[in-house]
Amino acid sequence: MVNLKIAIERKSYAKNMPDVLGPLAFNVSQGEFVSLVGPSGTGKSTLLNMIAGLEPIQDGSIRFNDQLLAGSPPCKLSYIFQQPRLMPWLTVADNLRLVMPDSAPFEIEKMLDKVGLKGKSDCYPKQLSGGMQRRVSIARAFLTRPDVLLLDEPFISLDAPNAHRLRSLLVELWLEHKTTVVFVTHDLNEAIQLSDRIIFLSSSPGTVLLDKEVDLPRPRADEDIHFQNWKKHLLSQNPGLLEGQADGIEYESFSGGFI
């Protein structure tokens, strides 16, 4: 059970490069599903990498349960990357075993069964379709029973039915494991469907534009009338939100199309 306190002053990749993240602060309570939404290039992935300890924090701090992050995170953390990132020379089962060396074969089978990959444990990743590889990476992320789960646009470039299935799988596993989730996406529907809270980031350098609770009952379907109304209301109150504009004056005519 882990909560996150994120307070970043600024972040840039090199001294003479423009900042990718501006001043930005938010908390994630334990077991909460938080989505980060923003246009591409706002440093969403950078922020996730910082939380995962892959990217150094320059100015600011990230705390896990009030413990300052220095080096690798002080808890079990899983990361579902944009690409599945499986080792092509390891079978599916061995890919899972890599992150949990002492897991019994039946545990791995059970996990694969859960993501709908029963009997695929001896396949190599290249023998699987893109969607199946993604499911393996989801299985890998949940096998370690993480306290914190980071997802970086995991359902991008998937066909709609597959993405839908994987989204429900994610929610199912999240409800079962009570993991703290930070989910990066630029798909608003996806964010509304999945999360407890959505944090909208501005265009580069990324700062928090809006921190919005999603008070819709689960399960949520994006063709549902409440869902659509909620989204319409959100966009009408905050025009230019998806473009990362605070006031949205320049984009008024464009966002007017949604209303």
Partner 1 sequence: MRHSHSRTFQGRDLEKLKTESETESNQTSKVKVMSLSLLRWLIPLGVILLGWQCTALFLASDNVPSVVQVFSSLQSHLVNGDMLYHLMVTLYRVALSFCIAMFFGVMIGIVMGAFPRLNEAGDSLLVIALNVPALVTIILCYVWFGLVEAAAITAVAINKIPTVIVMVREGARVVDRDLLQVAQVFKVSPFRCFFKVYLPQLYPFIMASARSGLSLIWKVVLVVELLGRSDGVGFQLGTFFHFFDIASILAYTLAFAAIILVIEGLLMRPLDRYIARGNYNDSGAGDNGRYKGGL
User: Which residues of the chain form contacts with partner 1 (CB under 8 A)?
Assistant: 52-54, 72, 77-79, 81, 83, 85, 87-90, 94, 98-99, 101, 124-127, 140, 144
**Long-range contacts, 227-232 (Cβ 8 Å, 24+):** 227/192, 227/193, 230/192, 231/188, 231/189, 231/192, 231/258, 232/258, 232/259
Q: Quick one: 25 or 156, whose CB is closer to partner 1?
A: 156
Query: Min. distance of Cβ 212 from partner 1 in angstroms?
Result: 28
Q: Quick one: 157 or 229, whose CB is closer to partner 1?
A: 157
Which residues, including other chains, have CB under 8 Å from residue 252's CB and lie 6 or more apart?
Answer: 239, 240
CA distance 253 to 248: 9
Query: Min. distance of Cβ 27 from partner 1 in angstroms?
Result: 22
Q: Quick one: 79 or 155, whose CB is closer to partner 1?
A: 79
Q: Quick one: 12 or 83, whose CB is closer to partner 1?
A: 83
**3-class DSSP assignment, residue 143:** helix
Query: Min. distance of Cβ 126 from partner 1 in angstroms?
Result: 5
Looking from the CA of 149 toward its CB, the CA atoms found within 13 Å total: 30
Query: Min. distance of Cβ 20 from partner 1 in angstroms?
Result: 18
